[in-house]
Amino acid sequence: MSIPIGHDVAHAAALLKSNELVAIPTETVYGLGANGLSPNAVAKIFAAKNRPFFDPLILHVAQFSAIEQLVQTVPSQAKLLAEAFCPGPLTLVLPKSNLVPDIVTSGLPNVAIRIPQHPLALELLRAVDIPVAAPSANLFGQLSPTTAKHVADQLGEDVSYILDGGPCSIGVESTVLQLAIDEKTPPLLLRLGGMTLEQIEEVIGEVAIPNPKAHPSTMAQPAPGMLPKHYAPQKPLLLVKEIESYLPDCPTGLLTLQSVPNIERFTAVEVLSESGDLIEATAHFFAALHRLQKMEIEQIIAVPFPEKGLGRALNDRLARASD
Ligand code: TXA
Ligand code: MG
């Protein structure tokens, strides 16, 4: 049985209030939402996604004032960032208050919070008036969904409703930033995403970037979304820097920012932006991978993006999706 899909915000709100799961559109990717103050409702998310309990969830709220009761203090950097970028694709990690159930944070002392920008998400959050816990609405480790159909293709009857807000405008998950309370310690970038490092540093100055090699074990990851293998399509994905000289020896799909010479070498091709625009490319990124993984090909070859702006987040996802 397929999951009902529609535009009924009041229905979605009523389901969330009765502790059911609802997939919600955001500007980054679709989220799998539940009442973030109910441990029982949140537990359903982990079950539906097959997600390990050590991977904490983001709480979504409609306005900045709602953050105050979920955290112990609001450092001035959080206020600056919120003024500049919220609502938007930025998640702030702050010391949690007692209101936040431990299952949301996987027992960590910090909670991740974001104010999404998508109009339907905001309308829904205002209607429910509770923080909504929502990871990306995909099975654990797989490609993030950027359309309602992507959600319906992956998740099953545990989900009561998909609120359809059309294709996600940004297309890559939010940037996750952990703020220190003492203000002298630089914020820690836990995940590259839709808000670029350049944009963040312009507002609050230098941000620390953890060295992934310093956290080899799963449990010691500063953010479990930084697991080396994540966001992966169901076909092997290989990163190739020298695409000009690459000759495939089996049916191969190509994922590339712009077109490359002799493109007929490839069985399937996804050019993300003819003009090389990283914003446009990001918006098409996951949908292109969803299409490629369904094609009659044996592997996906991806060309790295320029390492700047949103290109950093896309390279991060490619690195985690590759073998
Ligand atoms: O754009 C997004 O962030 C989407 C939409 C639905 O909002 N959500 C999303 O959630 O991508 P998820 O669960 O797929 O990724 C959340 C990331 C993970 O890397 C998780 O480990 C990290 O945020 N995270 C959540 N809570 C945390 C915490 N308390 N401390 C550190 N990292 C945390
Ligand atoms: Mg995810």
| CATH code of residue 315 | 3.40.50.11030
Report CA(209)–ligand 1 centroid distance (Å).
Answer: 17
Quickly count: other Cβ atoms within 10 Å of residue 23's Cβ: 29
Judge if 189 and 251 occupy the same domain: no
50 pLDDT tier (thresholds 50, 70, 90)? very high
Residue 225 falls within a domain, yes or no? no
Question: What's the one-letter identity of residue 19?
Answer: N
Number of domains, the chain: 2
Same domain, 263 and 188: no
Residues 6 or more apart from 17 whose CB is under 8 A from it? Answer: 35, 128, 130
| Interatomic CA distance for residues 221 and 52, integer angstroms | 14
Q: Is 271 a member of any domain?
A: yes
The verdict on 200 and 76 lying in the same domain is yes
**Same domain (yes/no): 243, 198:** no
Q: Measure 248 CA to ligand 1 centroid, in angstroms.
A: 36
Q: Which of 204, 224, 250 is the last residue of a domain?
A: 204
Last residue of a domain, one of 185, 204, 223: 204
pLDDT at 142 over 80: yes
Question: What is the predicted pLDDT for the residue at 182?
Answer: 81
Q: What is the pLDDT of residues 205-259, one digit of tens each?
A: 999 988 765 544 433 445 655 666 777 888 999 999 999 999 999 999 999 999 9
Query: Quick one: pLDDT at residue 180?
Result: 86
In a domain, 211, yes or no: no
Residue 191 has pLDDT above 90, yes or no: yes
Distance between CA 190 and CA 169 in Å, rounded?
22
Say if residue 22 is in the same domain as residue 106.
Answer: yes
Residue 52: nearest ligand to its CA?
1
24 and 134 belong to one structural domain: yes
> Of 158, 186, 204, which residue constitutes the final position of a domain?
204
- Ligand 1 centroid to Cα of residue 78, in Å, is 17
Instruction: Inform me whether the pLDDT recorded for 158 exceeds 50.
Output: yes
**Domain assignment present for 315:** yes
Q: Which of 58, 59, 147, 177 to mutate to test the pocket of ligand 1 (most atoms within 8 A of CB)?
A: 58
- Which ligand sits closest to the CA of 143? 2
Those residues whose C-beta lies under 8 Å from the C-beta of residue 221, and which sit 6 or more positions away, are: 215, 227
Does any domain span residue 57?
yes
Considering the chain, what percentage of its residues have pLDDT values greater than 90?
88
24 lines ligand 1 (CB under 6 A): no
The answer to whether residue 19 sits within a structural domain is yes
User: Does residue 18 form part of some domain?
Assistant: yes
Residue-level pLDDT at 220: 41
Ligand 1: which of 71, 173, 192 to mutate, most ligand atoms within 8 Å of CB?
173
The answer to whether the CB of 300 is under 6 A from ligand 1 is no
Compute the mean pLDDT over every residue in the chain, rounded to the nearest whole number: 93
Q: What range does the domain containing 244 cover?
A: 237-321
Give CA–CA dist 297/136, Å, rounded: 26
Residue 225 pLDDT: 58
My answer on whether 42 and 150 are in the same domain is yes
- Considering the domain architecture, whether residues 76 and 182 belong to the same structural domain is answered as yes
**Residue 292 sits in the same domain as residue 151:** no
Asked if 196 and 285 sit in the same domain, the reply is no
Six-digit token pair at 148? 């309602």
Start-to-end Cα distance in the chain: 34
200 & 268 share domain: no
Lowest-pLDDT choice from 113-127, 174-188, 211-225, 293-307? 211-225
Task: Tell me: do 66 and 145 sit in the same domain.
Answer: yes
Is 157 a residue whose pLDDT tops 90?
Answer: no
Distance of CA 129 to the CA centre of its chain: 23
Measured from the CA of 225, which atom of ligand 1 is nearest? 19
Which tens digit of pLDDT belongs to each residue from 296-322?
999 999 999 999 999 999 999 999 999
Quick check: CB of 297 below 6 Å from ligand 1?
A: no
Question: Do 130 and 14 contact (CB within 8 A), yes or no?
Answer: no
